[in-house]
Structure 1
Amino acid sequence: MKKLLFSIHDVTPHHFDRLLEIDTFLQQTNVGHNYAMLVVPNFWGEWPLEKHPEFCEWLRQKSDSGVEMILHGFFHKDDCQHHNHIDRLKAKKLTAGEGEFLGLSASEATERVQAGLKCLEGVLGHEVSGFIAPAWLYGEAALNVLHEQGFKFAEDHWCLWSPDTGKELLKNSPVISYASRSVPRIISSLIWSKLATKLLAPMDVIRMALHPHDFDKKVLVNEFDRALNALLKHRTPMTYAALLNPNDVG
């Protein structure tokens, strides 16, 4: 049977209420706990995990229940002052100042990745093998650091690969995701979601991503509900780790 790879981005105490709402919604579907949480260790430098023990305990409970935990940057905030022209355009058009790993130097990227791993693994009590950059944006230094650190999987807007081995795990795979920052982005999200559930139907694996703020807009919630149920009619949820074993992807 074909597969669905589902993830919740921006998992931080700052969004705890929305995350609880989304998780409750998922438990009422066939997704259950078979999804991934992309965890930010210190969201915008104002929400360190260690300062929120109740949230950390919830993460551990979700992990024990089967939810896959993935490192999602460190601050989730782009504070780089030395972007080149192309990166500056990406940072402006593709995200609202949150492409944290787009313009970092090698030393900066290494420091944040290692600090993020130490924090998240300390919270969970087990190893974290995946990294996904905020806004799916990576600079060359960040890509090199992921390889050096031996991450088993990472993804961008179009594909999923293993930084450890360099092997491509999933290619030509656009993500079904949503944006709520403005009316034009909401409209484009609705159009893409409706089209994608049909256009991507032949693919063995479809990726779907949700952000906490998506649940702020009823129109997006309704479309997400429709799209998810349409996909689950012909797909079973899977983990990122399962892509490391081709036999697990049918």
Structure 2
Amino acid sequence: MPSGAERSLVVSVHDVASSTLAEVRWLLGRLDALGVTPRVLKVIPREDGRADIRRDPAVGALLRAEAARGSEIVLHGCTHRLAGPPRGDPLLRARARLFAPGVAEFLGLEADEMRARLTAGRAILRELGVETGGFCAPGWLGGPGLRPILAELGFRYDLGMLGIWDVERGRTLRVPSLGYMGAGGAYERAVAVAGGLTLLANSGAPALRLFLHPQGAPDSAACRRSLRVLGRLLRGRRPVTYGELLDG
């Protein structure tokens, strides 16, 4: 974590895939204008189980360019789609139904399938010339048994809704988050209210996270509001990656 009086901010762009490439580029352009480097890109290697990013040279080129600038690449599931009934405790299943319908991929998998998808997703990124040591389950929802598998496969961290699980040290760093979900409607308004409360309660926190989803971003008033909040946060915080937080 940041030392002394230094305060940090992790800015992440979610759901990087062929289907969202135009919106992702738009978001990265806004981050460039604000001077946000480094940043984090959360990548879906095979969206819907069909759209393999290896077939889209533009995605690979973008990821390599971002990695060369110091951006951090995070594996964001493999297909980003729920393949079976959600597993886990009742709270996890309720969160999947309410906040991640149809996308909580890693809540519907047995251990062997989790291992296979983690291995395949990382191999796809490696084939494109980028490495990743971080994982974020779609919807921030990982099923029972996920974390031991991440440790077995050599991942460095797992991102949850409330913080970062440090695989090597077996500890969780609480890092509050806020941002733009790309959901629209009442859900997006609720996310904005929650984000405002998060800022009020954690204005002096050593580290914060701001997430940006690409869906609808260029035309979204909610996304523009999140970018304005980001601009204000940057006056007192330094952009960092998750790896830097764990190293601090």
Q: Same fold (TM over 0.5)?
A: yes
Partners of 1:143 and 1:21 in 2: CA distance: 33
Which residue pairs with 1:22 in the alignment?
A: 27
Alignment pair present for 1:147 and 2:151: yes
Q: Aligned to 1:244, which of 218, 228, 246?
A: 246
Which residue pairs with 1:40 in the alignment?
A: 44
Q: How far does residue 58 in structure 1 lie from its aligned partner after superposition?
A: 1.6
Q: Aligned to 2:227, which of 225, 229, 236?
A: 225
Q: How far does residue 42 in structure 1 lie from its aligned partner after superposition?
A: 0.4
Which residue pairs with 1:160 in the alignment?
A: 164
Per mean C-alpha deviation after superposition, the further-off stretch among 207-216 and 178-187 is 178-187
In the superposition, relative to structure 1, how do residues 3 and 112 fare at CA in structure 2: closer, same or farther (>3 Å)? same
What does 1:149-228 align with in structure 2 at a 5 Å threshold?
A: 149-168=153-172, 170-171=173-174, 173-213=175-215, 215-228=217-230
Partners of 1:108 and 1:79 in 2: CA distance: 11
Which residue pairs with 1:94 in the alignment?
A: 99
Mark the runs of 5 or more structure 2 residues left unpaired by the alignment.
1-5
Partners of 2:181 and 2:107 in 1: CA distance: 20
Q: Aligned to 1:115, which of 117, 120, 125?
A: 120
Partners of 2:165 and 2:180 in 1: CA distance: 23
Give CA-to-partner distance per residue, 1:108-139, whole Å, 9 cap, x none: 00000000111111112x43211111110011
Contact 2:88–2:144 (Cα < 8 Å) also in 1: no
Which residue pairs with 1:70 in the alignment?
A: 74
In the superposition, relative to structure 1, how do residues 154 and 95 fare at CA in structure 2: closer, same or farther (>3 Å)? same
Indicate the SS of the match to 1:206: strand
Corresponding pairs, count: 242
Contact 1:13–1:49 (Cα < 8 Å) also in 2: yes
In the superposition, relative to structure 1, how do residues 82 and 212 fare at CA in structure 2: closer, same or farther (>3 Å)? closer
Normalised TM-score (structure 2)? 0.91
Mark the runs of 5 or more structure 1 residues left unpaired by the alignment.
none
The list of structure 1 runs, each at least 4 consecutive aligned residues, that deviate by more than 4 angstroms after superposition, is none
Give CA-to-partner distance per residue, 1:179-207, whole Å, 9 cap, x none: 34342112212222333333221100001
Partners of 2:99 and 2:203 in 1: CA distance: 25
In the superposition, relative to structure 1, how do residues 82 and 187 fare at CA in structure 2: closer, same or farther (>3 Å)? closer
Give CA-to-partner distance per residue, 1:8-42, whole Å, 9 cap, x none: 110111101001100111000121x3100011110
Identity of aligned residues (%): 27
In the superposition, relative to structure 1, how do residues 17 and 67 fare at CA in structure 2: closer, same or farther (>3 Å)? same
Partners of 1:236 and 1:84 in 2: CA distance: 37
Indicate the SS of the match to 2:211: strand
CA RMSD of aligned residues (A): 1.7
Q: How far does residue 216 in structure 1 lie from its aligned partner after superposition?
A: 5.0
Partners of 2:146 and 2:171 in 1: CA distance: 17
